[in-house]
């Protein structure tokens, strides 16, 4: 039987993925300039987040999806740092919120690692 927190993690990534697809400009705005193909990467990451959200729900794909989630969260670190360092990318969020978002990545990585 799956724990409720697995459903929550799946839901978080599913919703994040959907928002990548319906509001790509917001996500493109926070990407560092040195990363190419912003729009393509926003769409691909959105689709990937949706796939891992479903993959977490099924035993045969859970481990692969958990590893994929961890990999994506690590890949997203430059975006969070970019948001913290560059005012234009901060989405007008207060610094403390940006720091919490960055630190939250570590918690999400740990959370996903519980399903390996």
Q: In which residue are the tokens 């990467």 written?
A: 41
Domain ranges of the chain: 4-113
Q: What pTM, to 2 d.p., does this model score? A: 0.94
**pLDDT one-digit tens code per residue, 42-64:** 999 999 999 999 999 999 999 99
Which residue blocks in the chain are alpha helix, DSSP H?
4-22, 24-29, 38-55, 59-75, 77-85, 95-113
pLDDT over threshold 80, residue 1: no
Maximum distance among all alpha carbons in the chain? 45
Structure letter (DSSP) for residue 36? -
Which residues are CB-neighbours of 91 under 8 A, at least 6 positions away? Answer: 26, 29, 30, 83
């Amino acid at each position: 039987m799956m724990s409720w927190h697995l459903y929550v993690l799946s839901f978080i990534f599913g919703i994040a993925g959907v928002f990548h697809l319906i509001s790509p400009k917001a996500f493109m705005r926070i990407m560092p300039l040195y990363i190419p193909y912003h729009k393509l990467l926003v769409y691909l990451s959105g689709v990937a987040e949706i796939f891992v959200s479903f993959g977490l729900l099924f035993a045969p794909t859970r481990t692969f999806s958990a590893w994929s989630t961890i990999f994506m969260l690590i890949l997203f670190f430059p975006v969070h740092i970019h948001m913290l360092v560059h005012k234009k990318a901060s989405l007008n969020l207060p610094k403390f919120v940006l720091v919490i978002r960055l630190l939250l990545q570590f918690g999400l990585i740990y959370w996903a690692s519980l399903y390996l």
